């Protein structure tokens, strides 16, 4: 299936601010030095519709890159929704060797292919950089008898199938895998947890508030309002260290459960990019994550700085693929 | 309009065939065994397929006339009146509009046979869709509007061309520049 | 008293010249974007976010809220004028709005929509101001079992949307639910009816079906209506008589309240509310039979309900920090980036945002009315476009709307397919409204049923042992049985009377008129038309 190229007009706001910035040029010139540089606008794909997590990542990073002149060509955000990402990935996969196509990504690039719902997986693309991450929060109502994640695991072990846990995404997706992996690491059979999929973390937390389920999984930042108000309590977070959004919450590791799950966010490119091309983008994104503008925006969104360059990101993806594949096999969802 | 009205039995058979195909496909949805689930993904589709089949049977065997299962000879006034044409929400009977005193407008299109007219419209839409990405939004839309306006007999041909160009340009600028929604550009540079 | 104090404070925030300007700007831009093909409140807000980022939080949320209700009103305009509902919440508006427009009463239909929207919005804001914290209890009391019951109640509207032919209505609704089930099953991640095409993994977009079976089908009908008079292009006065205002008073008041309370529930608030309100009014009204032919009550009911619901959806957002709809989800994202965390603490931590927003909603609703009433004649002129131009323009409108949301040609082919389906349904007497109802509610119904049963380990009694769910299911049963009993009684009465005084039958004033519209008596050619099927 060949799709003609689609070019987008640049963000009105971005171009306006770009104009402003050219007026006071000379800030941070292109990061790459003498190597390869893009010679036309970059098609920056969010494989989802406007308003979602990928779209936010794409538009936020494009704005920071352009406003601060980190990159010398405009970043044109193009939405390619459909198939949980598969439509967008197929589009990029067809652009072998094109150095002007990038896309934003996160764990579904591993999970969707593992579920047999995409013909392309992470090995079909060029890793550029991992930018940020965010842990999951395991939540209960304030009046719940459970106090740590180990209590939850114990409940699952003692009375398999008694505990309903709400999550904001479908079976075999991030929330489910992050829950199952932690339960398994705690020493219980993850397939006996009754995972109830809802449409988004908000709905999952509402169901928990109403007492329709006993626990819920959501992104740490989504939970912060109801945790701060005292309606919900966090058993643990899944990251390897504590986060600013929920500063008093212990990690799974602190509670003696050896498991880490991050909703990482990164950027990949079309297959077959050269080393110089990768190096250019790698440097640009590295520079971006050090900017105050980026730090401010991500802090508000609850994302934690977690940069990795192309090579490290690639290895990380391979490792994650193995790990998630194991968990999905254990809960019987691998295709 | 009558050309596209089929006998109730024909419609019933068509619905029945659809229902059978759907039900067969529904029974091919795999059972989900990894985790115990009380309601399978196939459960509701199977029920729906059988329900549609049942409805098709009812449609096939009941009296013709499109007026519900009522045995009454004058059914149109029983439950609710058939709404006037053009409401899209319950036109059980679709009468030709009565001739208005204010005179007739020229019939759109050029064919005698209404079936050809519908086919021509369908063909034009398909052509438009097929050319949407290769030609780009601007060109395909301008051509489509101008072409259709000419074909449907707009009094002033230049008005169609002008409207086509104006509307497509306004929509294109509004959507892609103002709102940052990408429309295909085709061979044009923007 | 405390509330009064707060709201005065709120007006202090909202009435600064700067914020007033942003309300105005938001409403204006929202209305324009909402009128564009396929762009509803959700896209309108998403597209305005970059601009909102440059403002201070209070002004930004005030402007975005203006965009929100502006876009809802804008959407109603295309429903009424072109039979092209861009968002699910305005589908019900087209049932009577479009027939009104075709009769040359587009101005009146739009005025009714504007007035009813204003009322719905205002009732909603009063509700939001007075009972928001209490209502969050209602929001959380709705779990999967309760949602299932609500969806079942909503689906009973199929009876009143089916018109004369319940069998065909049920077939439409069944097919609607079938379309809703296409894609990756949210509960088990199983693929259903995707036929190996990844474009179908996320299901069929509501917009494609709605534009296909309503707007595109209408284009096909237009070319077959040869020699028929064009729709009455004269735009009657947009002024509503005192009597008309009284007529829509009841439906508007009930719709506003119903809308607000339904909107408080996360999920399909506005859509469910507008359908329920329409079905309810059709049943309550003395002239319920003329719903679907261009009854202004049929415009007032869904319009007041969807605006009430739009405001209602702010309750979970503001009190729990939980978005109740796609639109409020985007608003939540915008607020976060602006450094505001909505939730239980917001009332204490950022009162200027909460109360400023409430005050700006009062103002925004007023601005919407003031802005739009004078513009209505302008909008209504769309209908004076010669048919040879209007026809391709509607096609373009549909194509752009679908492409702007999916960015792929695959969905355009689907659109054409649904257009053809809608046309064949129309010519063969299948109502399109139940199909849309099934499409919108069917998927939600299945999902909540399975969630409820998963939690209860397959125990079906959850639906009747929970009080809210049991009540809603009882209401659903009642609304199904009541009209059937009514039909049965009327039929009996008629049969008796028919036997006794057959000659008198056709002379009853009420039925004679509607019978005439149905094409059975007055018009010479029509006797052939409905029966023609018998030949083939």
CA distance A161 to chain B (A): 9
Closest residue in C to A46 (Cα–Cα): C407
CA distance C330 to chain A (A): 6
User: Which residue among B35, B133, B185 places its CB closest to the CB of A7?
Assistant: B185
| CB contact B53 to C (< 8 Å) | no
Q: What is the pLDDT of residue B65?
A: 55
Closest residue in B to C182 (Cα–Cα): B45
Q: What is the pLDDT of residue B2?
A: 65
Q: What is the pLDDT of residue C505?
A: 45
Q: What is the pLDDT of residue C37?
A: 67
Show the beta-strand stretches assigned E in chain A: 42-46, 75-79, 101-105, 126-133, 136-141, 164-167, 194-197, 215-219, 232-237, 265-269, 304-308
B174 token code pair: 């509004």
| CB contact C218 to B (< 8 Å) | yes
Which residues lie closer than 8 Å to A319 by C-beta, 6 or more apart? Answer: none
Residue C163 has pLDDT above 90, yes or no: no
CB contact under 8 A, B6 and C403: no
Residue B190: list chain A partners with CB under 8 A.
Answer: 9
Q: How far is C344 from C364, CA to CA, in rounded Å?
A: 25
Confidence of residue C534 (pLDDT cuts 50, 70, 90): very low
CA distance C225 to chain A (A): 38
Which residues lie closer than 8 Å to C180 by C-beta, 6 or more apart? Answer: C203, C204, C438, C439, C440, C442, C443, C446
Q: Please state the pTM of the whole predicted model.
A: 0.78
Where b means 16+ CB within 10 Å and e means fewer, C193-224 reads bbeeebbbbbbbbbbbbbbbbbbbbbbbbbbb
User: Which residue among C139, C188, C321 places its CB closest to the CB of A226?
Assistant: C321
Q: What is the pLDDT of residue C524?
A: 33
HSE on the CB side for C315, CA within 13 Å? 34
CB contact under 8 A, C409 and B132: yes
User: Which residue among A90, A213, A225 places its CB closest to the CB of C342?
Assistant: A225
Residue C336 has pLDDT above 80, yes or no: no
Residue A301: list chain C partners with CB under 8 A.
Answer: 336-337
Greater confidence (A156 vs A12) lies with A156
Residue A214 has pLDDT above 90, yes or no: yes
Residue C419 has pLDDT above 70, yes or no: yes
For chain C, which chains pass the contact test of at least 3 CB pairs under 8 Å?
A: A, B
CB contact under 8 A, C140 and A50: no
User: Which residue among B29, B77, B181 places its CB closest to the CB of C511?
Assistant: B77
Q: How far is B189 from C442, CA to CA, in rounded Å?
A: 44
CA distance A210 to chain C (A): 4
Residues in chain C: 536
Residue C326: list chain A partners with CB under 8 A.
Answer: 51
Greater confidence (C300 vs A24) lies with C300
Confidence of residue C499 (pLDDT cuts 50, 70, 90): low
Q: What is the pLDDT of residue C379?
A: 78
Q: Coil, strand, or helix at residue C192?
A: strand
Residues in chain B: 190
* Antiparallel, parallel or unpaired: β A101-105 and A126-133: unpaired
Q: pLDDT tens per residue, chain B (190 residues)?
A: 567 888 888 999 999 999 999 999 899 888 877 666 788 888 899 999 999 999 999 999 987 654 433 333 333 333 333 333 333 333 333 333 343 333 344 455 667 777 888 898 999 999 999 999 889 888 999 999 999 888 887 777 788 888 888 888 888 887 777 666 677 877 776 6
Residue C134 has pLDDT above 60, yes or no: yes
| CB contact A52 to B (< 8 Å) | no
* Antiparallel, parallel or unpaired: β A194-197 and C191-192: unpaired
Tell which residue, A229, A227, A225, has the closest CA to residue A249. Answer: A227
Average pLDDT on C141-166 reads 85
Q: How far is B89 from B151, CA to CA, in rounded Å?
A: 30
CA distance C66 to chain A (A): 18
Greater confidence (C34 vs A183) lies with A183
Which of B34, B172, B173, B174 to substitute to test the interface with A, most A CBs within 10 Å? B34
Average pLDDT on C74-89 reads 84
Confidence of residue C413 (pLDDT cuts 50, 70, 90): very high
Q: C256 phi and psi, to 5 degrees?
A: -60, -45
Q: What is the pLDDT of residue A14?
A: 35
pLDDT in tens, C150-162: 889 888 888 778 8
User: Which residue among B34, B36, B184 places its CB closest to the CB of A4?
Assistant: B184
For chain A positions 170-189, those within 8 Å of chain B (CB to CB) are 171
- A189-198, B37-46, C200-209, C346-355: range with lowest mean pLDDT: C346-355
Please provide the average confidence, as pLDDT, over all residues in chain C.
Answer: 81
Which residues lie closer than 8 Å to C79 by C-beta, 6 or more apart? Answer: C85, C86, C90, C91, C93, C94, C97, C98
Q: What is the pLDDT of residue A276?
A: 92
A-B contacts (CB, under 8 Å): 40
| CB contact A14 to C (< 8 Å) | yes
Where b means 16+ CB within 10 Å and e means fewer, A288-322 reads bbebeebeebbebbbbbebbbbbeebbebbeebbe
| CB contact B4 to A (< 8 Å) | no
User: Which residue among C54, C346, C454 places its CB closest to the CB of A194?
Assistant: C454
Q: What is the pLDDT of residue C294?
A: 87
Residue A8: list chain B partners with CB under 8 A.
Answer: 176, 180, 182
Q: What is the pLDDT of residue C363?
A: 87
| CB contact A1 to C (< 8 Å) | no
Residue A8 has pLDDT above 80, yes or no: no
What percent of chain C is predicted at pLDDT more than 70?
89
Check if the beta carbon of residue B75 is closer than 8 Å to that of residue B68: yes
Which residues lie closer than 8 Å to C490 by C-beta, 6 or more apart? Answer: B78
User: Which residue among C83, C449, C454 places its CB closest to the CB of B88?
Assistant: C83
CB contact under 8 A, C231 and B109: no
| CB contact B101 to C (< 8 Å) | no
Closest residue in A to B33 (Cα–Cα): A332
pLDDT in tens, A246-295: 889 999 999 999 999 999 999 999 999 999 999 999 999 999 999 999 99
Check if the beta carbon of residue C205 is closer than 8 Å to that of residue C408: no
pLDDT in tens, C201-237: 878 888 889 889 988 998 888 888 755 555 555 555 6
Which of B30, B39, B180, B188 to substitute to test the interface with A, most A CBs within 10 Å? B180
Which of C530, C534, C536 to substitute to test the interface with B, most B CBs within 10 Å? C530
Q: How far is B142 from A74, CA to CA, in rounded Å?
A: 29
CA distance A147 to chain B (A): 26
Give alpha helix (H) positions in C184-296: 206-210, 217-224, 242-263, 269-284
Residue C169: list chain B partners with CB under 8 A.
Answer: 90
Domains of chain A: 41-133+263-327 (3.40.190.150), 136-260 (3.40.190.10)
User: Which residue among C33, C428, C456 places its CB closest to the CB of B5?
Assistant: C428
User: Which residue among B33, B176, B186 places its CB closest to the CB of A8?
Assistant: B176
Check if the beta carbon of residue C375 is closer than 8 Å to that of residue C236: no
Residues in chain A: 335
A315 token code pair: 């290895």
Q: How far is B82 from A134, CA to CA, in rounded Å?
A: 58
Residue A218 has pLDDT above 50, yes or no: yes
Please provide the average confidence, as pLDDT, over all residues in chain A.
Answer: 84
């Amino acid at each position: 299936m060949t799709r003609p190229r689609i070019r987008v007009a640049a963000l009105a706001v971005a171009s306006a601010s770009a104009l402003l910035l050219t007026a006071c040029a000379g800030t941070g010139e292109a990061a790459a030095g003498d190597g390869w540089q893009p010679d036309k606008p970059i098609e920056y794909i969010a494989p989802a519709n406007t308003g979602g997590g990928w779209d936010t990542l794409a538009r936020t990073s494009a704005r920071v890159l352009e406003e601060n002149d980190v990159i010398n060509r405009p970043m044109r955000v193009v939405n390619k929704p459909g198939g949980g990402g598969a439509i967008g990935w197929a589009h990029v996969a067809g652009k072998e060797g094109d150095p002007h196509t990038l896309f934003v990504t996160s764990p579904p690039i591993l999970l969707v292919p593992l579920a047999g719902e995409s013909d392309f997986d992470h090995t079909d693309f060029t890793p550029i950089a991992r930018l940020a991450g965010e842990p999951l929060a395991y939540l209960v109502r304030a009046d719940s008898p459970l106090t740590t994640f180990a209590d939850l695991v114990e409940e699952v072990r003692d009375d398999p199938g008694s505990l309903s846990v709400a999550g904001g995404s479908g079976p075999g997706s991030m929330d489910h895998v992050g829950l199952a992996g932690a339960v398994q690491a705690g020493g219980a059979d993850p397939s006996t947890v009754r995972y109830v999929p809802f449409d988004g973390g908000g709905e999952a937390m509402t169901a928990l508030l109403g007492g329709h389920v006993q626990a819920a999984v959501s992104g740490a930042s989504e939970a912060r309002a109801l945790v701060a108000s005292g309606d919900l309590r966090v058993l643990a977070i899944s990251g390897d260290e504590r986060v600013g959004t929920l500063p008093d919450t212990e990690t799974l590791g602190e509670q003696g459960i050896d498991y880490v799950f991050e909703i990482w966010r990164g950027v990949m490119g079309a297959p077959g990019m050269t080393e110089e091309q990768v190096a250019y983008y790698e440097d640009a994104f590295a520079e971006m994550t050090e900017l105050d503008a980026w730090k401010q925006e991500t802090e508000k969104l609850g994302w934690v700085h977690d940069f990795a360059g192309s090579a490290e990101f690639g290895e990380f993806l391979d490792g994650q693929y193995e790990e998630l594949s194991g968990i999905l096999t254990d809960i019987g969802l691998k295709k | 309009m009558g050309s596209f009205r089929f006998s109730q039995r024909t419609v019933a058979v068509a619905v029945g065939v659809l229902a059978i195909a759907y039900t067969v496909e529904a029974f091919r949805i795999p059972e989900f065994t990894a985790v115990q689930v009380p309601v399978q993904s196939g459960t509701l589709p199977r029920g729906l397929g059988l329900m549609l089949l049942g409805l098709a049977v009812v449609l096939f065997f009941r009296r013709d006339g499109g007026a519900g299962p009522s045995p009454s000879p004058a059914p149109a006034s029983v439950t609710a009146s058939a709404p006037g044409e053009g409401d899209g929400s319950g036109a059980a009977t679709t009468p030709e509009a009565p001739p208005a005193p204010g005179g007739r407008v020229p019939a759109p299109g050029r064919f005698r046979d209404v079936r050809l007219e519908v086919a021509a419209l369908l063909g034009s839409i398909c052509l438009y869709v097929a050319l949407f990405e290769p030609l780009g939004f601007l060109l395909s839309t301008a051509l489509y509007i101008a072409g259709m306006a000419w074909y449907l007999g707009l009094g002033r041909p230049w008005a169609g061309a002008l409207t086509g160009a104006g509307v497509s340009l306004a929509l294109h600028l509004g959507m892609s520049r103002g709102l940052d929604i990408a429309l295909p550009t085709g061979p044009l540079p923007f | 008293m405390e509330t009064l104090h707060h709201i005065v404070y709120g007006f202090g925030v909202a009435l600064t010249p700067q914020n007033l300007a942003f309300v105005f700007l938001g409403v204006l831009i929202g209305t324009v974007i909402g009128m564009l093909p396929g762009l509803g409140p959700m896209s309108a807000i998403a597209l305005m976010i970059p601009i909102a980022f440059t403002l201070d939080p209070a002004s930004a949320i005030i402007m975005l809220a203006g965009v929100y209700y502006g876009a809802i009103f804008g959407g109603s305009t295309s429903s009424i004028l072109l039979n092209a509902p861009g968002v699910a919440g305005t589908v019900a508006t087209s049932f009577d709005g479009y027939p009104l427009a075709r009769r040359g009463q587009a101005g009146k239909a739009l005025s009714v929509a504007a007035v009813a929207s204003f009322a719905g919005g205002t009732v909603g804001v009063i509700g939001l101001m007075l009972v928001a914290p209490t209502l969050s209890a209602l929001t959380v009391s709705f779990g999967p079992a309760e949602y299932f019951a609500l969806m079942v109640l909503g689906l009973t509207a199929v009876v009143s949307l089916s018109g004369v032919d319940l069998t065909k209505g049920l077939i439409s609704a069944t097919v609607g639910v079938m379309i809703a089930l296409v894609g990756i099953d949210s509960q088990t991640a199983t693929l259903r009816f995707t036929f190996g095409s990844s474009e179908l993994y996320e299901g069929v977009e509501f917009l494609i079906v709605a534009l296909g079976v309503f707007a595109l089908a209408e284009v096909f009908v237009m070319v077959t209506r040869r020699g028929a008079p064009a729709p009455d292009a004269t735009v009657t006065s947009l002024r509503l008589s005192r009597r008309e205002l009284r007529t829509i008073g009841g439906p508007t008041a009930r719709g506003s309240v119903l809308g607000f309370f339904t909107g408080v529930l996360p999920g399909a608030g506005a859509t469910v509310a507008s359908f329920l309100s329409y079905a309810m009014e059709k049943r309550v009204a003395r002239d319920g039979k003329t719903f679907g032919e261009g009854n202004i009550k049929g415009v007032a009911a869904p319009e007041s309900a969807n605006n009430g619901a739009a405001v209602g959806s702010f309750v979970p957002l503001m009190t729990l920090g939980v978005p109740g709809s796609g639109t409020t989800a985007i608003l939540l994202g915008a607020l976060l980036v602006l450094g505001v965390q909505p939730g239980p603490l917001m009332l204490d931590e950022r009162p200027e945002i909460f109360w400023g927003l409430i005050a700006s909603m009062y103002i925004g609703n007023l601005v919407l009315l003031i802005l739009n009433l004078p513009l209505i004649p302008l909008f209504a002129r769309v209908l004076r476009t010669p048919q040879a131009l209007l026809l391709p323009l509607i096609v373009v409108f549909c194509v752009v709307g679908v492409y702007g949301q999916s960015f792929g040609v695959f969905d355009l082919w689907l659109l054409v397919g649904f257009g053809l389906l809608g046309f064949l349904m129309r010519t063969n007497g299948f109502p399109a409204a139940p199909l849309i109802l099934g499409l919108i509610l069917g998927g939600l119904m299945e999902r909540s049923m399975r969630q409820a049963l998963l939690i209860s380990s397959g125990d079906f009694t959850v639906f009747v042992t929970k009080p809210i769910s049991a009540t809603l299911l009882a209401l659903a049963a009642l609304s199904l049985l009541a009209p059937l009993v009514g039909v049965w009684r009327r039929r009996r009465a008629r049969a008796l009377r028919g036997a006794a005084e057959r000659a008198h039958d056709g002379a009853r004033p009420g039925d004679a008129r509607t019978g005439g519209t149905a094409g059975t008596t007055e018009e010479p050619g029509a006797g052939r038309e409905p029966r023609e099927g018998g030949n083939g």
